[in-house]
Amino acid sequence: MNANANANANINANAKATAAPPLLTVRGLKVVVGGRHILHGVDLDVAALGTTALLGRNGAGKTTTVRGILGLVPRTGSVRLDGEETVHLATHALVRRGVGYAPEDRGVFAALSVAENLRLAERPGAGEPAYGLVYELFPELRTRARQAAGTLSGGQQQMVAIARTLLNGNRLIIADEPTKGLAPKVVAEVARVLERAAETVPVLLVEQNLAVVRRLARYCAVIADGRTAHRGPAAGLLDDPDAARRLLGVGHAHPHTQPHARPPAHPGTVQDQEAEA
């Protein structure tokens, strides 16, 4: 009960804090893969400004939520982008409305060169691609333009993935665990870039590294067992040890010690199913 009251209070605070209507409104998002319900109804708002973090324990359904929003898995419910219902749209049609996506496994085409990876993200008719911005943020990508992306380090591959979202004048950037498996120095760099991107484009960030969340996210939503368990300001959740432990399964305080690597997925968890799907 306490949790509910808490959540409601947070939502109210959220509503007060954001004057502008949310950019992305997700209501009752359900995903069924292979006859199994993975999402039972996720509600989520992405604020029109700044970063909104999508949190939850391993296997809670965060990645499936993102894939559901994008239409990469069959889904029902409502996904409104700037007021327009998109749940019936094919993935590419939604993306062309101005969504940049950096997936969990980075989605870099290993056999293609860095330049080709970027070129693939260009959208004909969406204006001049912002190579200036990309090369300013990631000068390395210019020098490695002809290198096969598969030979890059994990951090460099993540840069390619993020660069692809920055190339177009997107209205929304979705980044799924962009710091996963990266060295601390690279994590800081990725966070810096996302912070800068979020100044102009709202970001939906799936993240396990709570230090990064604390630094970037203004709002957050927590998924548990395929449902939205909490919505509100990110700082409010992170500063509440009880709520953090209950919702995220982490002790408060030392987010820096949060391991980046996931524990091995348990059989039958959502992670597993996502891999199959």
Partner 1 sequence: MTTATEPRGNARTADPHLAGRAGPLRRATRWWPAALLAVLLVAPYSALPLPGLLDGPIGSPGNLQLLALCLVFGALATGYDLLLGRTGLLSFGHALYFAAGTYVTNTVMLEAGLPFAASAVLGLLAGVALAALLGAVSLRVSGIGFSMVTLAFAQAGSILVQRDPGGVTGGEEGRAAPADRLPASLVGIDHTANLYWIALAYLVLVLAVVHWAVRSPTGRVWEGIKENERRVEMLGLRPYGFKLIAFVLAGTLAALGGIVYLLLTGGATPQTTTSDFTLSLLVMVVLGGSGTRWGPMLGGVLYTWADHRLGDLAGSGAVAGLPAVLRVPLSQPLFLLGALFVAVIYLLPGGVVRLPRRLRAARTPRATPDREEAPAP
Partner 2 sequence: MSTVVLLVLTGLGLGALYFLVASGLSLIFGLMDVLNFAHGALMSIGAYGTWWAASGRLPGAGPGGLGFVLAVAFGTAVGTAAAVVLELAVIRPLYTRPREQILATVGVGLAVPALLSAIWGADARPFPAPDALSGTFGLLGAQVPLNRLVLIAAAVIVLIALKVFLGRTRHGLVVRAGVEDRAMVTALGTDVRKAFTLVFAIGGAAAALGGAIGGLYFGSVDPEQGTSLLIFAFVVVVMGGMGSLTGAALASVGVGLVQQFANYYTTDGLGDLAVVVLLAALLLVRPRGLTGRLA
Beta bridge partners of 55: 222
Scanning 56-64, 88-96, 236-244, 266-274 for contacts with partner 2 by CB under 8 A, the matching segment is 88-96
Closest CB to partner 1 among residues 259, 267: 267
Q: Kindly tell me the sign of the dihedral angle through the C-alpha atoms of 198, 10, 207, 228.
A: negative
**Is residue 83 near partner 1 by the rule CB under 8 A?**
no
Interface pick for partner 2 out of 77, 107, 181, 233 (rule CB under 8 A)? 107
CA 180 to chain CA centroid, nearest Å: 12
The footprint of partner 2 on this chain (CB under 8 A) covers a number of residues equal to 22
Under the binding rule (CB under 8 A), the answer on residue 37 touching partner 1 is no
Residue 264 touches partner 1, criterion: CB under 8 A: no
| Binding-site member from 75, 164, 218, 231 for partner 2 (CB under 8 A) | 164
Q: Does 215 bind partner 2 (CB under 8 A)?
A: no
* Distance separating alpha carbons of residues 154 and 67, to the nearest angstrom: 22
User: According to CB under 8 A, which one of 87, 121, 191, 248 is a site residue for partner 2?
Assistant: 121
Residue from 2, 34, 146, 185 in contact with partner 1 (CB under 8 A): 34
For the chain, what's the residue count? 277
116 is in the binding site of which of partner 2, partner 1, none (Cβ under 5 to 8 A by kind)?
partner 2
Least distance CB 58 / partner 1 (angstroms)? 18
Distance between CA atoms of residues 33 and 64, nearest Å: 10
Q: Does 125 bind partner 1 (CB under 8 A)?
A: no
Which residues contact partner 1 (rule: CB under 8 A)?
34, 74, 267-268, 276
Positions that interact with partner 2 (CB under 8 A): 70, 72, 90-93, 95-96, 101, 103, 107, 109-112, 116, 119-121, 123, 164, 168
